[in-house]
Structure 1
Amino acid sequence: MTTTAPPVGDHARVRRVAERTRSARLIRDSIGLLSSKWSVDVLLALGDGTRRYHELLEDLAPISEKVLTQTLRAMERDGLLVRRVHAEVPPRVEYALSPLGATMAPPLKALGSWSLAHGKRVEEARDRFDARAAARVRAA
């Protein structure tokens, strides 16, 4: 089986497509860091400083202990927060944003500003879409 090289002009296009694909994957992965229901809430809470587990649990109510634990573990795995266990009885566990996690503050603030400025328009667009869809179902 023989393969042929892409035409000369296609090399640049192949590189552009590969770079765009790589960039899109990195962006999807980064957005995925915030895709759990509670990760943004945890980032915002830790933006105010180091917190103990039960402080987070109270501040993020109605989150369950299980979900908070899962969220904190995932965020620690991703390098967004640091977990510190103090050698005391009972052990005192604290969570803080890592330097990497702290870099999420500017994009979150920008997204928050966008949401405040345009959230109503998104809701209105959804309502219009749902009304059209309902009308099509009634007409069918």
Structure 2
Amino acid sequence: MEATPLRILVVEDNDSLLEILCEMLASLGHQAVAAASGEEALVHLRKGRFNMLLADINLPGISGIDLATMAVEMASNIKIIFSSGFGYLVSDRLDFDFTLLNKPYYIHELAHAISSSARQISAQ
């Protein structure tokens, strides 16, 4: 568990997986805010402040990559974690750092990705 709980926006179009991810994050001591689409996530990003964005890459409408790009433009210090079974879709030409979690993954892999990104937050 991290020393400081993080506020993490979780974007996943699979309702069951979204619920499980939020429960996993809560069990790790973090506050998860759920969004079922990129459009819904944008509403949350405009209203609140988040330490991290955990987004599926392959979302209907606004893709996870486009959402992450907008999130970084809105808050340059937000950390990005992509979650996908299609990790090869992530461009190596993105203008921001990100972590990739290949689906399916386990809670310890999620915890490691968050921990790595949290170290970047505390180093700023």
The interval holding the TM-score normalised by the smaller chain is under 0.3
TM-score after normalising by structure 2: 0.24
Higher fraction of strand: 2
Higher fraction of helix: 1
TM-score after normalising by structure 1: 0.23
